[in-house]
A and B are shown apart, each in its own frame.
Chain A
Amino acid sequence: MKPLGFSTSPNLVLRLPMWRSRLMLFLLFFAFLMLLLRALWIQGPGNAFYEAKAIKGTQRELELSASRGKILDRNGQVIATSLEAKAIIAYNDVVPDDLAPEKIRQLAQLLQISEPELRRKLRDERTQLFLKRQVEPQVAQAIKQLEIPGIAINNVYRRYYPEGEAMAHVVGFTNVEDRGQEGMELSHQNELAGHSGKRKVVVDRLGRVVEEMAILQLPQNGKDLQLSIDSKIQYLAYNAVKNAVEQHHAKAGGAVVIDVQTGEILALANWPSYNPNDRSHLSGEQLRNRVLTDTFEPGSTIKPFTVSAALEKGIVQPSTSMAIGAKFLVGPKPITDTHPYGVLTVSQIIQKSSNIGTAKIALQMPPKDMWDLFTAVGFGQAPKIGFPGAVSGTVHPYQKWVPTDQARIAFGYGISTSLFQIARAYSVFARDGELIPLTIERSPGMKSGPRVMSAKTAIEMRDMLELVTEPGGTATKARAEGYRVGGKTGTSHKFSGKGYSANQYRAYFAGIAPLSAPRIVVAVMIDEPTRGSHYGGDVAAPVFSTIVGETLRTLHVVPDTTVKQMALKEFDPVDQVTPNITAQKVVMKR
C-alpha cells in the first residue's frame, strides 16, 4: 500500500461546517455587545446604585460642635463655663468576654464605679452605651492606655461653676445632656444652648478628611449671659448667712441685696447650699432657693407698709401720739406686745415694733387702703425677674377681711410673701415712693418706675426706719459703721400642723443703706434659730449689718456719718494732698 503523504491524507481534507464558525463569531460578538450594553447601563441610567456606593465609601457627614454660652457676673467674671471633657463609651459587641480581671478592676477604679456595676454594664445587651459621660482628660488618657478593645473615648462638654456653693442657687446647673435644670441655666436655656452644625466631607481610605464639599448647617455657639450679681457681694452675703445659721443653730437662711438705683440684684444667697460641680448627694433642702420660692408670714417687717398707708391717707402723722396699753382685744385672742407700752408716737410704734399700735392704726382706715398699698408694692404677685419658681405669696381680697384679719395683717400675720418680695417692697422707701423694676441681668443706668406712695411718706418712713437701728429701737445690731442705715426687724411664729408653733420662729430684717442717699436694700431671713435669742433684731440684724458694711465698701460708697479715724502717727493731711484731691473727715484719735 502506498503510504499517504500529509497533504494527501483524506482525513485532513475534511472541512468544518460553516455554521460552527459562524456560531462562534456570533457568540463572541454577542458577548461583546452584552459588555457594551452593561457598560452603557452602568454609565447611564443604572449608575445611581454605584454612585451611592462610591459616596458611602468616600463621603461623610460630620458634626460641627457648638458650645454652651458662658454665664458672667456684673464685672465679667466667669461663673459658669463649658470645658471639653471626655465620654467613655463601651461597644459591648467588641469588648472581649474574657477581659482580664485586672483590667476590669483598673477601669472601674478610673471610672469611680464598683467592679460589679462595671461588669453589669459590659454585659448589657445594648451594643453601645456610655460608661461615664463626663470624665477629666487625664482620666480618659489613662483609660486609653489600658488598651481595652471596644472602649472608645468621645469629646463632650462639661459645665463648670468656679464659685461653687456661694452662687449655686443663682446659676443653677445643667444635666449630662447640657440642658439647664435649675436657676439661670434653666430660665435662659434657649439663649445659652449652642446648636451644632453639619458638614459634608470627602475622606480617604484611612478615614482622613481630604476635602470639604459643603457646610450643611452652620454651628451656632450659645450666647453669653451677663448677670447683675456681683461675685464678691454674693460671696460675702452667702458667708454672712452661713455663719449666722451656724451660730444660731438654725435650719436655713437667705439674703438678698438690691441696687435701688439700677434695680439690679447684686446678691441672692441661700443656706443650705450645694456644690453644682458635684451633685452626687443632692437633697431637696439644698436645692431650695428660699429667697424666691419660700413664702412665709412676714411679721413685723410689714408694719412700715401699714403705717405708710395711714400716713398717705393723712390718718396719722409721725408725731401723732397713741395710747397703747398692755392688751388690745380684737376678736377672740388679744393682741400683745413683747413689752407693755403706755403712750407711743407713730414713729415710736415703728421703732419699738408695737403690734398693738400698728393694729390700732390699721383699724382707723378702710381695709381697701391697706390692700391697695400692699398689692401696689408687689405683695401677692410673683416678681417678674426671669427666675424659675419665683412665688407670688398670698394677700387675701380685702372684701373678706374682718377687723381681726385687718389687725393681724397689719403686723404681718394672715399674709404671706417671699423674702425677695419684702426686699422689693422696701425699695419703694429707698426710691422716694417709686417701685422700680428689678432684674437679675446686667442693666446699668438709673431706672424709674411707677409711683406707689408720695415722696413725703417714703422719706418720713425712712426716718422712722432709722430710729429702729438707734438706741431704743429693736435693731441696734443692724448699724453698720460709717453708714446711716434704717430697717425693720421681724420675728414670726412658724405655722406648723394645726396652728402656730410656740417655739419655732423665723427672724427677719429688711433695710436700706446709706440713708442720706439710698443705694442698697438688703433683706435677711433666718429660719428656726434655736440657740440664743430668736428675735430678728438679734439674729438677722447683725447679718444685715455685715452685708451692708461690706457691700457699700465694695461699691466704694463714701460713708455718710462721722467715723472715728484710726490714729496715724505724724500724719498731716495738708502735706499729703495732691493738687486736686483733699482729705475729708480727718478726725484722728488714738
Chain B
Amino acid sequence: MNRATFTLLALLLICALSLVAAQQKARKLFIAIERAQMEERRLNQEALRLEYDQRTLSKSARIQDSARNQLRMLPITPDRTLYLKDAQ
C-alpha cells in the first residue's frame, strides 16, 4: 500500500466522521427551530388573547357603564362644548 492510499483512507474517514457530525448538528438545529416555531405560535396566540382581552375591557358598553356609574360622568352635549377652528 502506498502513501496515496493511506491519505485517501484518512480523508474518507474524516469525511465520514464530519458527515455524522453535520447530521447531528442539523438535527439539533432542526429541533431548535421547531421549538422556536412552537414558541412563536404560543406567543402569537398569547398576543391574540391579549388583544381580545384588551378589546373586551375597552368595549363601549363597559366604558359607558364605568363612566356613568362609577365615575359619574355625563355625556358630551354641544351646549357644554367649546369648538375651536383653525385661524384663517
Contacts and interface: CB of A to CB of B under 8 A. Distances in A.
Interface of A: 77-78, 81-84, 160, 162-164, 166, 209-212, 231-232, 235-236, 239, 481-483, 549-550, 553, 558-559, 563-566, 568, 573, 577, 579-586
Nearest to A546: B75
B45 A84 contact: yes
B76 A553 contact: yes
Contacts of A84: 45
Contact of B52 (A78, A211, A482, A558): A78
13 contacts: A78-B51, A81-B52, A83-B49, A166-B60, A209-B30, A239-B61, A239-B64, A481-B77, A481-B78, A553-B78, A577-B87, A580-B87, A583-B83
B78 A563 contact: yes
Contacts of A577: 87
Contacts of A211: 26-27, 30
B83 A585 contact: yes
Contacts of A166: 60-61
Contact of B75 (A483, A550, A558): A550
A78 B55 contact: yes
A549 B34 CA distance: 55
Contacts of B80: 565-566
Given A232-B60, A553-B76, A582 B51 contact: no
A563 B87 CA distance: 20
Nearest to A589: B79
Instruction: Determine chain B's interface SS by DSSP, over half rule.
Output: helix
Interface string B63-81: 0100000000001111111
A580 B86 contact: yes
Given A81-B52, A482-B81, A563-B78, 6 more contacts: A163-B61, A210-B31, A236-B60, A239-B61, A550-B75, A582-B84
Given A162-B59, A481-B78, A83 B52 contact: yes
Contacts of A586: 82
Given A78-B52, A235-B61, A236-B60, A212 B78 contact: no
A57 B85 CA distance: 75
Interface residues of B, number: 29
A209 B34 contact: yes
B48 interface: yes
A160 B64 CA distance: 21
B55 A581 contact: no
A481 B79 contact: yes
B73 to A, nearest CB: 14
B30 A210 contact: yes
Given A83-B45, A209-B34, A232-B60, A565 B82 contact: yes
Contacts of A573: 82
B52 to A, nearest CB: 5
A558 B86 CA distance: 13
B84 A565 contact: no
B56 A162 contact: yes
Interface in B23-38: 26-27, 30-31, 34
B60 A582 contact: no
B82 to A, nearest CB: 6
- 4 smallest CB-CB distances across A and B, nearest first, come from A482-B78, A235-B60, A162-B55, A563-B78
Contacts of A483: 78
Contacts of A232: 60
Contacts of B61: 163-164, 166, 235, 239
A57 B61 CA distance: 56
Contacts of B49: 83
A210 B52 contact: no
Contacts of A77: 55
B2 to A, nearest CB: 33
Contact of A231 (B48, B60, B84): B60
Contact of B84 (A78, A568, A581): A581
Contacts of A582: 84-85, 87
A81 B27 CA distance: 36
A558 B59 contact: no
Nearest to A163: B59
Contacts of A162: 52, 55-56, 59
Given A83-B48, A163-B59, A580-B86, A210 B77 contact: no
Contacts of B51: 78, 81
Interface in B7-60: 26-27, 30-31, 34, 45, 48-49, 51-52, 55-56, 59-60
A239 B68 CA distance: 14
Given A77-B55, A162-B56, A481-B78, A584 B45 contact: no
Contacts of B56: 162
Contacts of A580: 86-87
Nearest to A556: B83
B66 to A, nearest CB: 14
Nearest to B28: A210
A159 to B, nearest CB: 11
